[in-house]
Amino acid sequence: MATRVQTVLVVEDESSIASFVALYLKNAGYRVQTAGTGQDALDALSRERPDLIVLDLMLPDIDGIEVCRRVRRGSDIPILMLTARDEDVDKIIGLEVGADDYLTKPFNPRELVARVKSILRRAVPERREPQERQLKHGLLQIDAGRREVHVDGKEVQLAPKEFDLLWELLDHRGLVLTRDQLLERVWGYTFAGDTRTVDVHVRQLRRKLG
């Protein structure tokens, strides 16, 4: 049975960067679509759901933060945000509105491909035998197979990384996991010590779960 080719939507207004990113992603085996503005990206998303979005922060019409916010209103598509500004506030805001990860320009294209692979690998539900795993904690119930979270019987929509982080925390409750351990377990690679990523996602979980 042939493996389905995963699609990545690259939203970048600088054509040279968009072409550069698309080339590396295609060489890594992905199908790539491109959009040069935030509105073009939203229009593309209305026609077809990609497996992941590479989203530039600075766009000529609707900025990346707003695009991310609109995507998150009705979708859990993984988002990797690109920013030319190495400012903490941009990264934190991006993560708070639902981005799964970020890269600061200029970046090594191999690192971008590695992060795309890591995000997509974590976003695909694991096959668990002989039965799908579930975790319960008080009113909270998590289904790993369906990747669903319910609080007091009501479903709560989580971004892929939020789900993975919650699973790790509950699956290892009673143990002390450091931020670096969570970065490795959930994101699949080291963030060079940038543990604020974990803090932002924990804060989002607390807000959503109540």
Query: Which are the contacts of 203, defined by CB distance < 8 A and separation ≥ 6?
Result: 96
Total count of residues recorded for the chain: 210
**Which CATH number fits the domain 7-123, given the four candidates 3.90.1150.10, 3.40.50.1980, 3.40.50.2300, 1.10.1510.10?**
3.40.50.2300
Whole-model pTM: value is: 0.70
Distance separating alpha carbons of residues 116 and 113, to the nearest angstrom: 5
Res. 164: pLDDT tops 80: yes
Position 123 scores a pLDDT of 67
Q: Are strands 52-56 and 101-104 parallel, antiparallel or unpaired?
A: unpaired
pLDDT, tens only, 43-95: 999 999 999 999 999 999 999 999 999 998 888 899 999 987 666 666 677 77
Kindly report the CA angle at 177 between 141 and 128, in degrees rounded to 5?
A: 45
Instruction: Say which CATH class 134-209 falls into.
Output: mainly alpha
50 vs 97, which has greater pLDDT?
50
Query: Which are the contacts of 168, defined by CB distance < 8 A and separation ≥ 6?
Result: 177, 182, 185, 186
- Where do the domains of the chain lie? 7-123, 134-209
Kindly report the CA angle at 107 between 14 and 53, in degrees rounded to 5?
A: 60
